[in-house]
Amino acid sequence: MRNAEKKLSGAKRPFISISMRYLILAAVAFPNLYIFYLIFTPLTAYPSYFALKLFFDASLVNGTIIKIGSSVIELIEACIAGSAYYLLLILNLSTPGIRPLKRTVMILLSFAFFLLINLSRIIFLSFLFIFDSAWFDISHKVFWYFGSSIFVIIIWFANVKIFAIKDIPVYSDIKFLWKEAMKRN
């Protein structure tokens, strides 16, 4: 009897894993990625401010506005890039077969890498803006439309390589569910 219970429990485990991973993704997205902006707004604004303060007489206003002389740099939600952090989380949690500790390390590492890249981007663009560079507008648009997505893809593939991930996000789950459904028919 115990072997049958153990076998049944083992069969349910992948379904529970899939359910929990996607439930977490849905919960984190509600309401409007709030958790990412709550965490990453100060983690983005304060280091950006302190880095710029090394070079300029800067002040931080309301936690998201950096004033340098007559220049005002406002870090809006797009600058914080909460959706990019969410995409990294989606890629991680929609990939099966990763142990919880390894998954946690992957998430933290990918968030840390993206935060460093984002801080570098903000500081670089701030310099262009402060010095009234002709390259500011095009650089800002390129980073806005393509930069975050490219950085997320690079970070994800680096994680895949570093942590030897074999499964494919979403696809591997769908493939598993399809095979299970075919077994039952």
pLDDT of residue 11: 52
Model-level pTM?
Answer: 0.88
Give me the tens of pLDDT residue by residue for the chain, a chain 185 residues long: 444 334 434 456 888 999 999 999 999 988 889 999 999 999 999 999 999 999 999 999 999 999 999 999 999 999 999 999 999 999 999 999 999 999 999 999 999 999 999 999 999 999 999 999 999 999 999 988 888 899 999 999 999 999 999 999 999 999 999 998 888 77
The packing angle between helices 171-184 and 2-29, to 10°, is 140
Q: Residue 24 and residue 90: Cα distance in Å, rounded?
A: 10
pLDDT of residue 3: 43
Among left, alpha and beta (phi > 0; psi -120 to 50; other), residue 40 is alpha
